[in-house]
Structure 1
Amino acid sequence: MGRIFISAGHGERINGVTEPGAVIAGTTEAREMILTRDLIVAALRSRGAEVLAVPDDLSSSATLVWINSRARSGDVALEIRANAFSNPSVRGATVFFIANNAQRRGHADIVLMSLLRRVPQLPSRGSQPDTASGLGSLAFCRQLVPPSLLMEVGFLTNPDDRFILQNQRPDVATGIAEGLIAWSRNVSGLPTPTPPPTPPTPTPETFPPITININGQSYGEQGVLINGNAFIPIDLVDRLGVDLSKAPEVRRVNVRNIVFVKAIELRDFNISINWDAQTRTVFLRSILKICGGSLDRIMGHGSTTDVQLTMFLKSNNEAGVTQFPDITKLYREEGSIEGVNYDIAFSQMCLETNFLRFGGDIKPAQNNFAGLGDVGGTAAGASFPSARIGVRAHIQLLKAYASTEPLVQESVNPRFGFVTRGVAPLIDSLSGRWAADLQYGAKITAILRRLYEFAQIL
């Protein structure tokens, strides 16, 4: 059995100071995860496992370097985190794995089920691809040499989850430790002595070949499968128009004197990646070709239909479709009238309302789908007489940020006149403006990519 790396996730290290992460009810994410990690390490060592705990003073990027510099064949890596949400009723544990990797999904199921067997009071949010996370990708799942997973043990903002974490910590730690051992044995192929130190990657001849399909056509050169991940030749990356010269974090390997790149990491460069395990084929498509050359420009045309939007919303929250049956039609109509990309507006609505679950200060009856404030600055935000007017107000404020063109319809947004016109033409430009969150634009883009992949227009 290989070694087990474990990291206690928390906030970033800024100016030499480690941020505590979420601060809730007199405790912090850093405190709760470090205490839990220490018990997991003790439980693993009592079972004969070799454990390497990541130092707590490292930033996220330094954590990846620390693990990769020590990793050997057969090792596995887990980071534990605690989530937080504005709605205190949201709770449960989940394990994130790198998207489109059935093997890693199985590993995530092993670890999550082991925790839930020990702590059945903790609800399961299931094993999820990292594309379903807030940022649409997780560096811990993608940029490590050994197989890796990220576990959210629960929500600090939920009193029940917090109680379990603080009062049943030994059970939580034992469940995670047992899952890690089962996962490690699975990776190693049943319990065997710890293998001697070897290079981080196997010898080239052990890499099985895979087929590459790009924009519907078979590519003449094959890729390789490494640790369950598809890698493609660097020459193909160049043909896709992706410049990796300023992206050192993208994983590269040298196989048979050819440089290969981890395919899934190209999603950040607007390349859609899908995997067919039966045929061992990786499918790549350029999002920019479908979206008119710019995925993130707010002014433009959407690419989805009413049915595609409705099914995407239904797959995330079926009750939302029942409560607002015309919501997708309204976004397409109102966005088209003002020249706003309704796919972007719809994705922003999904982020702001948690797919029409709401749960914060804004209530469904307000028909406020984008966290719009009123002129008076009340905590409850703006209210609108109908869903159509609420969608129109959302579209109009997006246009105010993204364009200097006049409105087609009469303004219904109370804050339209306060925006500096055209200051935010791209999704990322909304970060720190529409919301204080500096990752706000990245979260909208992550949902937008999920929408396009779900709709199979990529």
Structure 2
Amino acid sequence: MKLYLDPGHGGTDPGAQGNGIREKDIALDIAKNIKNILLAGYQNIEVRMSRENDTTKSLSQRTSEANSWGADFYLSIHCNAANGAARGYEDFIHNSLGSTSQTASYQNIIHAEVIKLNKLIDRGKKKADFHVLRESAMPALLTENGFIDNSADAALIKDPLWRQRVAQGHVNGIAKAFSLKAKPAVPPQPPKPVDPSNLYRVIAGSFTNRKNAEERSAALKNKSIESVIATAEISGTVWYRVQAGAFSTKENAEKQLETVKKAGITDAYILSDAPPAVPSEPKGYSILGVTHLSPEHMNQYAKQVNPNAANLGSFYSAIGEYYGIRGDIAFAQAMHETNFLRFTGDVKPGQNNFAGIGATGNGAAGASFSTQEEGVLAHIQHLYAYASTQPLPPKYPLADPRFSLVKRGSAKLWQELNGKWAVPGTNYAESILNIYKNMVRFSDQKLEAVLKDVEGS
């Protein structure tokens, strides 16, 4: 089945406007969702769109293209506008067609499926002499998905999840009308083991001036690409690397690299941080090092387990970077200590004690901190005490009340915290690293989901 999918208006023609939204943008978003869902979920379906971005295209160009391609069905996506009071959904076939025509049959099916999901008033099935309905050589339907100038409809239209539901309604109707067969389900594959010491990092720029790195990071954010700034000292010079993701597989890193380059960052590259083999060094994962995962990934992972989890990722990323501590693994340690910020042990939420500092068991609640940031600061400083023999850097005041009780430099590896941070703590570090591995795996899965959307659009 060949579907010609036509997002109305575009380019110099914005279509209807109201309540801060434009018809051309909404129509394109719904149409892209329709295409993605159809191609991902159904067999023997081809989709050609009249436009896939904000370009100008005449009505005659659209129908001529659909006719030349030999489409089986023409679907035009629109939104409505009237006097600010009108509301609802309606769709149109050409007014020359009778109620028993094949096109009317398609309209009946698709209309019913869209109405099931769109939460709009049903304004009915209608007919009109619109160009795309008259000049198309195949059955054609034009749908009007709410009134942009009505505040109630506009509130729905602005919601991307609503637009996905509307797209799903159209897809359900098309699949039913044309007897499309769903693609067979792909059996889930067991997750690949993740080695947190061997990640592939996408570097979207490396600068000796931190301001330049911050500007690059902001430019990426404007392109909906999250990044963190990591420092590295090379031949005595400090470099600020803009890291746009860290992945357990090179394949995922290469996909992200392609996305970054498409955003205009042509000098991006992949850096693998597998540690060199040094026989004299013990095997394990260093507490000191670069934070690979972004604050957003940390927060999103925590909310997968506890939807009410506070957003601590930015604190662990920024403070960890300042002290040279692996902020993402420290975040995993906080998740272990607090049962994903549910605080089911001796420490209570209001203490902002995410590391269990001073909570020695038997009901001892331990230290309390005035803010979440201070609690994270104390946690990172406590790790710094274990991992380094250097004095505390001067930017922050000492927040860790037990800093002086730690034997400095006594645990340079996470595994060396066993029996020190937690007693007896035989598997303490392993539990932390398992959470971190799951965080990395979650990062890969999120990328896969995004890439499926991108590849289908």
TM-score (norm 1): 0.36
Bigger Cα Rg: 2
The TM-score normalised by the length of structure 2 is: 0.36
